[in-house]
Amino acid sequence: MRNWKLVFEYELKTLLSKKSTIIPTIIIALIVFGVFNIPRFVGLFSSGDTAKEYKPMQEIVEDVGYVFEDSETGEKVKAALQLPDENIYKSRDELVNSISDGKNELGFVVLAPTKFESIWQDRDIENMAETTFSNLLQGINAGTMLAEKGISLEEVNAIQNIQVEYTTTIMGKDTSINLLIAFLLLFVVYMIVILYGNVTATLIAREKDSRTMELLITSTKSTSLILGKVSASAVSAILQVAVIGLAGYLGFMLNKDLLPEFIIMALSGTLTKQYIITYIYFSIVGYTLYLFLYASLGSMVSKVEDVSSATAPVVFLFIIGYIVSSFSMSAPNSNLVMIVSLIPFTSVMLMPFRTAIATVPTWQYLLSGGLLLVTTILLAFLSIKIYRQGTLNYGNKRGIVHAIKAAFNKE
């Protein structure tokens, strides 16, 4: 216990004093704080100078030339857009010249009531002028046809816009709002596991590579070493997340009144007491489970450069979890989603995610949480054995099956 604490303190101090820990934490915290402050800055820049209102019709009036081969439609377009005469040309060639000269950016040649050609100098990807003009012609033609049948356009609009009032009562969770935050927090777990998992595996592989491991295991027990290293990585990550979380909380509290309503709703809808407890439990225990897994993988290789290939399969576990999480959006309580949320390596992601978007039966929480805890303890024992065995293997990289077998063999 004494040496566990010693290893923990030493490793934690080493991790926290690394520039690679401090700098990203500060940058991410500032970004998170900054994101919550965006409405404040937007407010500053927009005050006194109201943003230019988007008017689709402007796109087909300003710097747009017209040639009307169908004069009847031309009159209707002129009236609808209140086109000045200078925008109207007699022939296609004149229109083309005006565009080439830079007088106009775009030109429309109306060939028939339902047919036109557009001529561009440079086409802007965001410019919707063609669609707008097409809609205008549709409206003109529809008006003409309705008039022929003796129906006014106002009557049609009234029929199309009959308002139906409704109220919503959600007994369980509002998936549509909670998804955003749930995915965001799932991504946080993913990042922490991958980042710190690799840090832990590299730490152990480097000790083996540099032969520090031999000094360590002759100075104290493997149990103290593995538990000390894993708990140091765990605490370091929690501290990092806490700093970033605090930055987010401060940003939120300072700008609460300025934030869009849907963000407030998403946060208050997702961050319930039940979700927070589930998220913290599954994240911390699951994260520890993954750290033991990474520690075992780090013990199996003899060189630092082999770490990435040895740890790559872990990412697949997350991909499975992520795919099932996406699938669970449409069927959060289906058998597949339920089973995957009970499996320790994927429950880390699935349980908090399901909690956010659906009502999960209590027995599933207990079973999944229990399985996760038991697996973590078993993997801790296994990783200690693999670590100890790893010191005897200064040679090639070993496979997981061989490493597990060797861990239980008499040396």
Give the count of beta carbons closer than 10 Å to the beta carbon of residue 20. 10
**Alpha-carbon torsion angle 148, 153, 157, 158, nearest 10:** -90
CB of 229 vs other proteins, minimal distance in Å: 13
CB of 210 vs other proteins, minimal distance in Å: 5
Which is nearer to other proteins, 7 or 64 (by Cβ)? 7
Number of H helices, E strands in the chain: 17, 3
Which is nearer to other proteins, 147 or 215 (by Cβ)? 215
In this structure, the strands spanning 64-68 and 106-112 are: parallel
Beta-carbon-side half-sphere exposure of residue 348 (alpha carbons within 13 Å): 29
CA distance 133 to 56: 9
CB of 343 vs other proteins, minimal distance in Å: 36
CB of 385 vs other proteins, minimal distance in Å: 13
Whether the CB-CB separation of 225 and 2 falls below 8 Å is answered with no
Which is nearer to other proteins, 210 or 359 (by Cβ)? 210
Which is nearer to other proteins, 140 or 203 (by Cβ)? 203
CB of 122 vs other proteins, minimal distance in Å: 56
- φ, ψ dihedrals at 2, nearest 5°: -65, -45
Q: Rg of the Cα trace of the chain?
A: 32
Which is nearer to other proteins, 6 or 16 (by Cβ)? 6
Per CB under 8 A, residues contacting other proteins are 3, 6-7, 10, 14, 207, 210-221, 391-392, 410-411
CB of 21 vs other proteins, minimal distance in Å: 13
Using CB atoms within 10 A of its CB, is residue 230 exposed (0-12), middle (13-18) or buried (19+)? buried
Which is nearer to other proteins, 10 or 187 (by Cβ)? 10
